[in-house]
A and B are shown apart, each in its own frame.
Chain A
Amino acid sequence: MNRMGRLIALVVAAATCAGLMGAMAQTQDESEREIERYRAMINDPMANPGYLAVDRGEVLWAQARGTKAVSLEACDLGEGPGKLEGAYAKLPRYFADADRVMDLEQRLLWCMEKIQGLDTADVIRRRFSGPGRASDMEDLVAFIANKSNGTPIQPQNAHPREREMTAMGEALFYRRAGVLDFSCATCHAEPGKRIRLQGLPDFSTPGKQAQETMGSWPTYRVSQSALRTMQHRLWDCFRQQRWPEPAYASDGLTALQMFLNVQAAGGEITVPSIKR
């Protein structure tokens, strides 16, 4: 990483940390002001590289593709075909046409196959972007999630399958396995803990830490020079947990997101954010 990249990373980490400190005495010193500048940067499409993904996603959303040569604009993300405002804030949710609870990625893949007649093998191969390899999914999620900015996270529980998924997500969160006996709770169930210097958000109780976390994904990760969605964050935590690699857009990841969103209910969505 270059020097500027390192500095941004530090500011991002300090901002996250300052956020966690919450109501602690605020001194208007240089770093405080710098953190404020960073916060403003998140919302500035000219300064936040995550907005490049938002723009690419907007193009992809309207592009005719697949054997049916149509766009995704007829895709129903829960609020009605093509209705994007606030849709992300209510995902994952139950979809009667698929008879499944789906997160945004699962729903997009479903729409690509059913509406566009698109072979999603290539889309899934490019699920995580890398140097010289764009990810349709990351771009689409950035574009769609951004349309929920300013909206509170609203976990869905009207359908029994939604309640069941949430309960299974919670069970998964506390499940200890792998050669190191880790569960999500090993690292994310006490406030104020850290691994090395990385602060660990506590998701075991509903509230601010879960809200700030879930309201800030998708995010532009400075250390990876890429926009990432919750699919990538959970994939990375499975790796740290020494569990097997989870299949992309599999139901277990959706269950975990249901549970995390219940803990994060009411948190305001501000995406794409910028993180370390």
Chain B
Amino acid sequence: MVSFSSKLIRTLLVCGIALTVTSVDAQDRPPVDPAKVDALIDGMFTRVSPEWRARAVLDDTQRTCTDRRNQVSGAEAEAIQARERASVVLPPDGNFLGDWRKGFQVANNGRGFQFSDPAGTVAGGNCYACHQMSPKEVSFGTLGPSLAGYGRERNYDPELIRDAYIKIFNAQAAVACSNMPRFGSSKVLTIEQIKDVLAYLFDRQSPVNQP
């Protein structure tokens, strides 16, 4: 039973690694009346609170990324990045690195902002859903690049620590229509949480930077 289970787990892991990426072009399909799509969506959310309904309304960046299916022109990308950069708030005390142990909690926690979450749920960044981080953790997603050894590979460079803070605060300040959430600007994570998770990436003691 035990050895059979471990074989299965191995099958799963091999599978995850074997399935590498080949990108496929979006196909052209006939256009559709945007007002009708909006009405269709409103119809799904008639029974939710106004606060929840507001989350289904697109901001300007979401609108452009939706309309272009993330394939924005150079000018559109610049407009998005300028707007998103403007919403970034740097740590008031100029100190970028928090506590990597708390940062692990932020990276590992996938709760918050789901309609099933009880009120007052502390939201996480769920970085592990999309990124490899500590090389020892086997359960990680692949929607984003591996961040294993992230600080070490960057020689713990303060300039790059600042860049990474901005990346986490608002992923689209640097990459328009990134699939990564805009954690700070959307108020999913606090400045403190971002500093903690940044320490998880950049603290020399963090498991991320251990072999």
Contacts and interface: CB of A to CB of B under 8 A. Distances in A.
Contacts of A31: 4, 7-8, 11
A181 B24 contact: no
A194 B16 contact: yes
B55 to A, nearest CB: 5
Given A190-B23, A204-B24, A178 B55 contact: yes
26 contacts: A7-B5, A10-B9, A14-B12, A21-B19, A171-B32, A175-B41, A175-B58, A177-B56, A177-B57, A177-B62, A180-B188, A181-B62, A181-B182, A192-B22, A194-B141, A194-B143, A238-B115, A240-B114, A242-B55, A242-B114, A243-B55, A244-B52, A247-B43, A247-B46, A252-B40, A252-B41
Interface residues of B, number: 64
Interface residues of A, number: 61
Interface stretch (A54-62, A70-78, A162-170): A162-170
Interface of A: 7, 10-11, 13-14, 17-18, 20-21, 24, 29-31, 34, 163-164, 167-168, 170-172, 174-183, 185-187, 190-197, 199-200, 202, 204-205, 238-240, 242-247, 250-253, 255
Interface in B30-64: 30-32, 34, 36-37, 40-41, 43-48, 52-53, 55-58, 61-62
B76 to A, nearest CB: 14
B115 A244 contact: yes
A242 B113 contact: yes
Contacts of B205: none
A238 B114 CA distance: 9
B179 A186 contact: yes
B37 A172 contact: yes
Nearest to B34: A171
A187 to B, nearest CB: 7
Interface of B: 1, 4-5, 7-9, 11-12, 15-16, 18-24, 26-27, 29-32, 34, 36-37, 40-41, 43-48, 52-53, 55-58, 61-62, 65-66, 69, 113-116, 128-130, 138-143, 179, 181-182, 186-188
